[in-house]
């Protein structure tokens, strides 16, 4: 018997990793908000499936709900094709309407079941402990269902990696090579729907978009290779799931919400610290470029007046800030940098260009 | 239910106070939302309304109980979320829609964290049904809520009227607006603020999860009836008010405990479907007839 905390952590890790894999393609295909829409309409699908099966614990609930997700995507595309509304408005019309219908039906008829609206909205991973589904007569815990979906996603990815990659980055080429981008699109949507349904109890309809998008977006800042991105996204999701669940239990807060916030913190770290693309790296690059620019300006200034009558006056350190129109504080900093780079040498209160300083000026001027 | 019992059912002044409130915020959301839809920013409203939750909760934790301060907290959080999305968009290659979805989940998650913290640790919190803000409960609208909706809504509509021409220009051709010397960034900021305002005043009645529909649906419906911005905005305001009114009454008839957010959204969706088919400017039916006639 696993401990309560370990089991919860495993559920959230499985959710985050399972969502991150298809989520990476959603981010790359600029379809992130479709997962938001799918997450919302699942409630409607689950309620409908419940009316049909009359059993809140039936595994068919999963498939009924997943089908609604795909139908939603088709509805949005249909609405867009009428050209009466734009894409963003089409998404914004379809999913609130279906979600509203789901909430209304659930609050009218399902108050007593586990589909209780408030609980459903907030996400309730504690359910993972209870064996809810029966498959072929054996009770199955939601944790195992979630791990199963994670395995399925990894498997699908392994099988269709080439197809997904090509249809994502160059749909036209993919179509001309006979890869059927439309089929991959709906396959991905079906997988997103199924994953969102499996994650539904744990994270609810609203937060699920974060589980799809945030780890993938963070990974997107860290690498240029798709294969690395996928592994990284799943790993970051798992890290967020572990840390977030731990924090939530420690501080007695909503687990799904805490994990979503933790994933956000991970993204913020990636945004700040990513090599090359991170905010700090960008700042450092800009500073380096600015410094190099100033040093080059100094070299050119000295070079232009080398051997002229004005050389003495123009290369006097105390007068530099006037000649170059620099704030006085900058001169000393640039001089130190230029000296270190070997562009200039001090001669008393005057400056002399070195050979490499002269070369730098010539390189820019010619 | 006979017509007479229906009338008796509806004949309570409390219901009409509430219906007046939702109609007013439908009017504001519809008018302001028209610009959001026109500028293809429909889903920004969704993000803002979800992001308002931690602001509401934080204001509550800081001791705010009056609707004005709660709304202010929500607006600040919605604003912060917009700033975050803007920062990510400018400073990284993460696509805009991913930033939007991510910010929505992070802020909403933080909101849930604060909400559960309040429920478990703030004494007397259950007297203030903060969780009703999730799906909206118009029946909880008090007179002070109506005053806030009225004042803020009126200010928003007045600003919309005062800056009508610049906003119009900004929505159709921002580059041209800039070349004419308009401060485009400032105008954009103002219009966004109006959207945030329209969202936060509706949170109590419609809820953070569904408020976006009240921005988008009336505008999408109105667009099918008119090809002029003025017509669209006026009609969207009217449709929004109708949806608020109809949804509140429908929710009331459906019984106690039914959240009003969904009923208002379904009323608005009904208007959209009707307009998509019968809209006189672009509706499917008239387009067919016109094609058959020519």
Chain A residue with Cα closest to B118: A253
Query: What are the start-end ranges of the H helices in A114-254?
Result: 117-122, 142-169, 171-176, 181-222, 226-251
Distances (CA, A) of A26 to A165, A217, B204: 12, 10, 33
- How many structural domains is chain B composed of? 1
pLDDT tens by residue, A38-75? 988 888 888 888 888 777 667 777 788 888 889 989 99
pLDDT band with cut points at 50, 70 and 90 for residue A238 = very high
Same domain, A121 and A225: yes
Which residue in A121, A212, A247, A256 sits closest to B109, CA to CA? A256
E strand or H helix that includes residue A139: strand A138-140
Same domain, A34 and A151: yes
Quote the pLDDT of residue A135.
Answer: 57
- The per-residue pLDDT of chain A, averaged, comes to 87
Quote the pLDDT of residue A13.
Answer: 95
Average pLDDT in the A227-239 region? 96
Q: Give percent above pLDDT 70 in chain B.
A: 93
Distances (CA, A) of B2 to A195, B7, B8, B16: 47, 9, 10, 20
Is residue B289 a part of any domain in this protein?
A: no
Is the pLDDT at A134 greater than 70, yes or no?
Answer: no
CATH number for the domain harbouring residue B105:
1.10.3470.10
Identify whether the C-beta of residue A83 lies closer than 8 Å to the C-beta of residue A28: no
Give the A:B interface size as CB pairs under 8 Å. Answer: 212
User: Of the candidates A82, A104, A213, which has its C-beta nearest B266's C-beta?
Assistant: A104
Domain extent, residue B75, equals 3-284
Is the pLDDT at A115 greater than 60, yes or no?
Answer: no
Beta-bridge partners for A352: A345
Instruction: Locate A7 and state its tokens.
Output: 């089991």
CATH number for the domain harbouring residue A318:
1.10.10.10
CATH number for the domain harbouring residue A191:
1.10.3470.10
Quote the pLDDT of residue A324.
Answer: 87
Q: How far is A175 from chain B (nearest CA, A)?
A: 24
- The per-residue pLDDT of chain B, averaged, comes to 88
Quote the pLDDT of residue A102.
Answer: 87
Is the pLDDT at B12 greater than 80, yes or no?
Answer: no
Quote the pLDDT of residue B235.
Answer: 96
Average pLDDT in the A71-87 region? 87
- The residue out of A274, A297, A330 marking a domain boundary is A274
Is residue B291 a part of any domain in this protein?
A: no
pLDDT tens by residue, A286-296? 999 999 999 99
Chain B residue with Cα closest to A283: B91
Quote the pLDDT of residue B18.
Answer: 85
Kindly state whether A210 is in contact with chain B, defined as any CB-CB distance less than 8 angstroms. yes
Rounded to 5°, the CA angle A14-B92-A276 comes to 95
Is the pLDDT at A207 greater than 90, yes or no?
Answer: yes
Same domain, A289 and A140: no
Same domain, A105 and A251: yes
Q: How far is B203 from chain A (nearest CA, A)?
A: 15
Residues of A in Cβ contact (< 8 Å) with B223: 84-85
Same domain, A17 and A90: yes
CA atoms within 13 A on the CB side of B52: 32
User: Of the candidates A100, A213, A263, which has its C-beta nearest B262's C-beta?
Assistant: A100
Strands A138-140 and A133-135: antiparallel
Beta-bridge partners for A346: A351
Lowest-pLDDT choice from B93-107, B114-128, B235-249: B114-128
pLDDT band with cut points at 50, 70 and 90 for residue B113 = very high
Kindly state whether A81 is in contact with chain B, defined as any CB-CB distance less than 8 angstroms. no
Q: In angstroms, rounded to a whole number, what is the distance separating the alpha carbons of residues A99 and B266? A: 10
Identify whether the C-beta of residue A105 lies closer than 8 Å to the C-beta of residue A98: no
Average pLDDT in the A142-165 region? 91
Average pLDDT in the A333-362 region? 88
* A 156-195 residues with CB < 8 A to B: none
Q: In angstroms, rounded to a whole number, what is the distance separating the alpha carbons of residues B176 and A295? A: 40
pLDDT tens by residue, B215-270? 999 999 999 999 999 999 999 999 999 999 999 888 888 776 678 888 999 999 99
- How many structural domains is chain A composed of? 2
Residues of A in Cβ contact (< 8 Å) with B239: none
Which residue in A146, A192, A198, A140 sits closest to A25, CA to CA? A192
Average pLDDT in the A354-358 region? 90
Quote the pLDDT of residue A125.
Answer: 66
pTM above 0.95, yes or no: no
Residues of B in Cβ contact (< 8 Å) with A36: 46, 101, 104
Is residue B290 a part of any domain in this protein?
A: no
Domain extent, residue A42, equals 4-274
Is the pLDDT at B213 greater than 60, yes or no?
Answer: yes
Chain B residue with Cα closest to A28: B95
Is the pLDDT at A271 greater than 90, yes or no?
Answer: yes
pLDDT tens by residue, B13-44? 678 888 888 999 999 999 999 998 888 888 88
DSSP state of A325: T
Of residues B40 and A23, the one with the higher pLDDT is A23
Site of tokens 């960008």? A282
**Cβ-defined contact of A213 to B102 (cutoff 8 Å):** yes
Q: With both helix axes pointing from N to C terminus, report the angle between A226-251 and A142-169 in degrees, rounded to the nearest 10.
A: 150
Is the pLDDT at A136 greater than 60, yes or no?
Answer: no
User: Of the candidates A206, A212, A213, which has its C-beta nearest B50's C-beta?
Assistant: A206
Which residue in A222, A198, A224, A223 sits closest to A211, CA to CA? A198
Instruction: Locate B38 and state its tokens.
Output: 């026109």
pLDDT band with cut points at 50, 70 and 90 for residue B10 = low
Is residue B79 a part of any domain in this protein?
A: yes
Quote the pLDDT of residue B8.
Answer: 64
Q: In angstroms, rounded to a whole number, what is the distance separating the alpha carbons of residues B97 and A209? A: 11
User: Of the candidates B46, B92, B99, which has its C-beta nearest A277's C-beta?
Assistant: B92
Is the pLDDT at A230 greater than 90, yes or no?
Answer: yes
Chain B residue with Cα closest to A79: B276
Identify whether the C-beta of residue B42 lies closer than 8 Å to the C-beta of residue B215: yes
- The residue out of A274, A299, A315 marking a domain boundary is A274
Average pLDDT in the B59-67 region? 88
pLDDT band with cut points at 50, 70 and 90 for residue A347 = confident
Quote the pLDDT of residue B185.
Answer: 87
What b/e readout covers A95-112, taking b as 16+ CB neighbours within 10 angstroms?
bbbbbbbbbbbbbeebee
Distances (CA, A) of B248 to A108, A113, B21, B235, B258: 16, 26, 10, 20, 10
Average pLDDT in the A232-253 region? 94
Beta-bridge partners for A134: A139
Q: In angstroms, rounded to a whole number, what is the distance separating the alpha carbons of residues B237 and B220? A: 11
Same domain, A207 and A290: no
Same domain, A89 and A198: yes
**Cβ-defined contact of A117 to B135 (cutoff 8 Å):** yes
**Cβ-defined contact of A96 to B37 (cutoff 8 Å):** no
Kindly state whether A285 is in contact with chain B, defined as any CB-CB distance less than 8 angstroms. no
Same domain, A331 and A238: no
Same domain, A259 and A289: no
Identify whether the C-beta of residue A299 lies closer than 8 Å to the C-beta of residue A344: yes
E strands along B96-233, which residues?
none
Same domain, A263 and A313: no
pLDDT band with cut points at 50, 70 and 90 for residue A327 = confident
Same domain, A208 and A270: yes
- The residue out of A274, A301, A328 marking a domain boundary is A274
Kindly state whether A108 is in contact with chain B, defined as any CB-CB distance less than 8 angstroms. yes
Q: In angstroms, rounded to a whole number, what is the distance separating the alpha carbons of residues A288 and A301? A: 20
Residues of A in Cβ contact (< 8 Å) with B88: 271
* A 58-77 residues with CB < 8 A to B: none
Of residues A55 and A95, the one with the higher pLDDT is A95
Same domain, A262 and A287: no
């Amino acid at each position: 018997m696993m401990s309560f905390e370990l089991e919860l952590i495993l559920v959230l890790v499985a959710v985050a990793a399972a969502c991150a894999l298809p989520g990476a393609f959603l981010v790359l295909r600029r379809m992130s908000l479709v997962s938001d829409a799918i997450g919302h309409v699942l409630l409607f699908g689950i309620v409908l499936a419940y009316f049909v099966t009359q059993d809140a614990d039936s595994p068919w609930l999963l498939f009924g709900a997943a089908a609604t997700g795909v139908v939603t995507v088709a509805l949005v595309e249909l609405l867009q094709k009428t050209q009466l509304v734009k894409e963003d408005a089409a998404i914004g019309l379809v999913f609130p309407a279906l979600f509203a219908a789901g909430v209304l039906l659930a609050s009218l008829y399902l108050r007593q079941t586990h589909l209780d609206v408030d609980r459903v909205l907030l996400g309730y991973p504690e359910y993972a402990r209870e064996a809810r589904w029966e498959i072929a007569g054996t009770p199955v815990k939601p944790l195992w269902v979630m791990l199963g979906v994670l395995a399925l996603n990894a498997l699908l990815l392994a099988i269709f990696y080439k197809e997904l990659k090509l249809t994502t980055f160059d749909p036209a080429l993919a179509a001309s090579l006979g890869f059927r981008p439309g089929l991959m699109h709906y396959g991905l949507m079906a997988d997103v729907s199924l994953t969102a349904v499996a994650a539904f109890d744990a994270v609810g309809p609203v937060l699920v978009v974060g589980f799809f998008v945030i780890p993938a977006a963070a990974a997107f800042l860290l690498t240029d290779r798709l294969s690395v991105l996928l592994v990284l996204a799943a790993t970051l999701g798992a890290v967020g799931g572990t840390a977030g669940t731990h924090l939530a239990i420690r501080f007695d807060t909503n687990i799904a919400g805490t994990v979503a916030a933790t994933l956000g913190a991970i993204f913020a770290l990636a945004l700040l610290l990513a090599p090359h693309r991170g905010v700090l790296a960008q700042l450092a690059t800009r500073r380096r470029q600015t410094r190099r620019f100033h040093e080059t300006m100094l070299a050119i200034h000295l070079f232009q007046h080398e051997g002229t009558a004005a050389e003495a006056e123009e290369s006097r350190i105390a007068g530099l800030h006037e000649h170059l129109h620099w704030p006085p504080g900058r001169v000393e900093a640039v001089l130190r940098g230029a000296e270190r780079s070997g562009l200039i040498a001090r001669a008393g209160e005057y400056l002399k260009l070195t050979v490499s300083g002269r070369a730098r000026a010539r390189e820019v001027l010619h | 239910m006979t017509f007479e019992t229906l009338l008796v059912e509806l004949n309570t002044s409390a219901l009409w106070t509430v219906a007046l409130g939702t109609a007013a915020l439908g009017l504001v959301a519809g008018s302001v939302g028209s610009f959001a839809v026109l500028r293809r920013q429909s889903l920004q409203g969704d993000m803002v309304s979800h992001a308002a939750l931690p602001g509401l909760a934080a204001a509550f934790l800081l001791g705010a109980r009056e609707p004005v301060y709660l709304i202010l907290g929500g607006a600040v959080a919605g604003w912060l979320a917009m700033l975050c999305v803007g920062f990510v968009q400018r400073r990284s290659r993460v696509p805009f829609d991913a930033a939007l979805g991510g910010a929505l989940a992070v802020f909403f998650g933080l909101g849930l964290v604060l909400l559960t913290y309040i429920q478990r640790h703030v004494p007397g919190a259950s007297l203030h049904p903060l969780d009703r803000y999730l799906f909206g409960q118009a029946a909880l609208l008090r007179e002070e809520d109506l005053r806030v909706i009225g004042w803020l809504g009126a200010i928003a509509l007045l600003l919309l009227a005062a800056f009508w021409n610049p906003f119009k220009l900004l929505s159709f051709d921002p580059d041209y607006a800039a070349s004419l010397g308009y401060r485009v960034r400032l105008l954009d900021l103002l219009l966004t603020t109006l959207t945030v305002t329209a969202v936060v005043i509706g949170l109590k009645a419609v809820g953070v999860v569904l408020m976006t529909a009240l921005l988008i649906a009336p505008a999408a419906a109105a667009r099918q009836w008119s090809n002029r911005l003025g017509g669209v905005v006026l009609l969207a305001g009217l449709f929004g008010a109708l949806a608020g009114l109809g949804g509140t009454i429908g929710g009331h008839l459906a019984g106690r405990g039914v959240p009003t957010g969904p009923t208002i959204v379904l009323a608005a969706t009904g208007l959209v479907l009707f307009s998509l088919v019968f809209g006189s400017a672009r509706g499917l039916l008239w387009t067919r007839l016109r094609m058959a006639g020519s």
